[in-house]
Amino acid sequence: MSAPSRYDVIIIGGGPAGLSAGLYTARAKLKTLIIEGSAIGGRMAEAWEIENYPGFTEAVHGYDLGQKMYEQATRFGAEHAQTSVTGIRVDGREKIVTTPIGDYAAPAVIIAGGSERRKLGVPGETELTGRGVSFCATCDGPFFREKVVAVVGGGNAALNEATHISHFASKVYVIHRRDSMRATKVLQEKAFSDPKIEFIWNTEVTAIEGKDSVERLKLKNVQTGAESALPAQGVFIAVGLIPNTGYLQNIISIDQYGAVITNDKMETNVPGIYAAGDVRANSVRQVVTAAGDGATAALYAQKFISESAKP
């Protein structure tokens, strides 16, 4: 077995938290590796418009913002590995990060792996994923031109999906199991004013049906129990997020929801391991706060490396 490739800091995740951390550590002349298993920018890259990131007078596409952050971090020397992380182990001062393409070692690790979409867990969801079932309107919107689609959820992600897909679809139904939204007022106003968007309240999806692709949704009113069918050619699921922490079990402290527990310095219970962004417990899941978490984690990781190197 070959020796792990060594760095000063390994950052797991290439979203706003990871890229911000990488900018700070690379700029501090620390040998930095950013590991990202999917698209640079993380979930931010899926956002069609980001209107509340400071410094932009006009809305910016999440993919574009992610690329700018990436270019900024790599300009100062941060390296990038396109792979997933399967585990972390502590070996004395070193943390060993394992991946399918090899192991990496560093005294400090910043976990910024974000989260993935929660599934409904209903019949047809898995079978029809990629055939009308989607978790990303930005990715798949153009496939639904002039089609009837549904969005399931009541938070910011759901309304972002709905307002984006309305640029393509002929009709968008937003299905929510409550009678009010959790989304911000700005997003609600935008969705309510869109003539293509119609809300179905107090309702849950019990099945997704179709032979070769999505044809209809089976619905149930949570108050009356009444069941119905909604013809649709697509469904976008936005019912919450699950932190990407499966590989961290029994390594650091995780809360009941799978999120990493940290203090205000982004420190976990293991010295030299930090967490930032959506993966962290009590995160408000905003791009700007994720970037701030990443900067904080990087600064304290830099201090940890400096102090732990002293004899």
Residues that are catalytic: 136, 139-140
Give the residues across from 280 on adjacent strands.
Answer: 260
Question: 287, 263, 289: which is closest to 275 by C-alpha?
Answer: 263
Non-local CB neighbours of 140 within 8 Å, separated by 6+ positions: 134, 234, 236
Cα dist. 103→10, 13, 15, 36, 83 in Å? 11, 16, 21, 14, 11
Rounded Cα–Cα distance for residues 181 and 188 (Å): 8
**Phi (first) and psi of residue 204, to 5 degrees:** -125, 155
Residue 91 phi, psi (nearest 5): -130, 90
> Which residue type sits at 106?
A
Residue with tokens 């929801």: 257
Cα dist from 285 to 15, 279, 282, 288, whole Å: 12, 9, 9, 9
What amino acid is encoded at 90 in this protein? V
CA 92 to chain centre: 32
Compute how many other C-beta atoms are within 10 angstroms of the C-beta atom of residue 229: 12
d(CA 126, CA 130): 9
Count the neighbouring beta carbons within 10 Å of the beta carbon of residue 33: 23
Asked if residue 124 lies in contact with residue 108, where contact means CB atoms within 8 angstroms, the answer is no
* CA-closest candidate to residue 234, choices 123, 122, 132, 128: 132
